[in-house]
Chains A and B, each alone.
Chain A
Amino acid sequence: MHSSSDAAVMEAHWGGGAAPFGASWQKTMMWIFIVTDGLLFSGLLCGYAFLRHISPVPWPRQSEVFSIPFIALMTFILITSSMTMGTAVTAARLGDRPRAIRNLAFTVFGGLCFLGCQAYEWSHLIHEGARLTSNPWGPPQFAQTFFVLTGFHGSHVFSGLVILIITLIRTLMGKTPAQGVEMAGLYWHFVDLVWVFIFTLFYLL
C-alpha cells in the first residue's frame, strides 16, 4: 500500500502527461538523442574492452605508444571548453548576450584546438605505422579500436563545432533564444563526457 504522499511523489515523477520529465519537448528530445548516442559509444567501448580481454597478444603499454602529456593537454582543452560552454548557457539564460557570445567563441576555439591536436595525433601514429589491419606495437585490435573510438569521437566534436558555429552566428544576429544555446551546450558537454571515458579506458588503463 502506498501512502498518499508516496502516490503524489510517484505522480509527480512518473505521471507522464505533456511533460513527463518536467522539461520542454526540445530538451527532452535532446536528452533522448544523447542517451541513444551514449549507447553507441557504450557499444564501442564494450567492444573495445572485449577485444582487449580476448586478445592473445599482450596489449601495449599506452604510455610507450602515445604521448600522455599531449593527451592530457587535449583533455584540458575539452574540459576548459565545457566550462566556457556552461558559462555561455547561463549568460544566455540571464540575457547577458556579450558574455554568451564571448564564451561561445572561446568554446569554438577550444573545439578547433582539440580537433587540431587529434589530427596531429592521428597523422603521427599513421606515420609510425599504425593501420586498421596492423601496427608495430601489439595486436591489430589496438590500432583498430584506437581509430574507431577516437574517430567516432572526433566526428562528434566536428559536428558539435558546426552546431556551435551556427549557434554563435545566430546569437550574434540575435536570432538564437537561450534554449538554443542550452541545446548546443548539452551536446558539447556530452562530447566532453564521452572523452572522459575514452581518456580513462583507452589511454590510461
Chain B
Amino acid sequence: MSGATGNPYRIYRITWVILLIITVAMLAAEALHLPRIFLILFLLSFMMVKAAMIGGNFMHLRYERPSLALMVAGGILITSLILYSFLSREFGYISRHLSQ
C-alpha cells in the first residue's frame, strides 16, 4: 500500500487539508448564489474530486490493482446510471397507465 517515501502519514494530512479546502469552496459557491447550471457543475465536479481523494488516498485504491478500482468505481457508477434510467422509464409507464 505504500508508494511514498519519507513520512508515511503525510499523505493523510495533505488529503485532509485538500478535502477541507474543497469543502469550504463548495460552501462558498452555495452561499454566493452562482447561476444554477454553474453551481451544479461546480459542486458535482468537486464532489467527484473529493470521492476520488477519499477512495484513492484514504482507502488506498490508488495502490491496488486497476481491476479492483474498476470494480468499485465503475460498478457503482454504471449501476447508478442504469438505475436512474429505469426509474425514469418506470415513472413514464406508471403515469401513462394512471392517466388512462
Hey, which bits of chain A sit against chain B, CB under 8 A? Answer: 13-14, 20-23, 28, 31, 34-35, 38-39, 42-43, 45-47, 49-50, 54, 63, 68, 72, 75-76, 79-80, 82-83, 85-87, 90-91, 93-94, 185-186, 189-190, 192-193, 196-197, 200-201, 204-205
Quick one: closest B residue to A43, CB to CB? B83
Known contacts A79-B19, A79-B20: does B26 contact A204 (CB below 8 Å)? yes
Q: Is the CB of A21 within 8 A of B84?
A: no
List the interface of chain B (C-beta within 8 A of A).
Answer: 1-2, 8-9, 11-13, 15-16, 19-20, 23, 26-27, 30-31, 39-40, 43-44, 46-47, 50-51, 54-55, 57-59, 64-68, 71-72, 75-76, 79-80, 83-84, 87-88, 91
**Chain B contacts for A45, CB-based, 8 A:** 80
| Minimum distance in angstroms from B81 CB to a CB of chain A | 9
Cα–Cα distance between A72 and B88 once the two chains are bound (Å): 32
4 more contacts with CB within 8 A, not counting A45-B80, A82-B16, are A14-B67, A46-B84, A63-B31, A189-B55
> Chain A contacts of B47 at CB under 8 A?
196-197, 200-201
Q: Point out the residues of chain B lying under 8 angstroms from A75, CB to CB.
A: 23
Chain B residue with the shortest CB-CB distance to A99: B9
Distance of B9 from chain A, by nearest CB (Å): 5
Cβ distance B53 to chain A, nearest Cβ, rounded Å? 9
B84 touches A50 (CB 8 A): yes
Bound CA–CA A93/B60 (angstroms)? 13
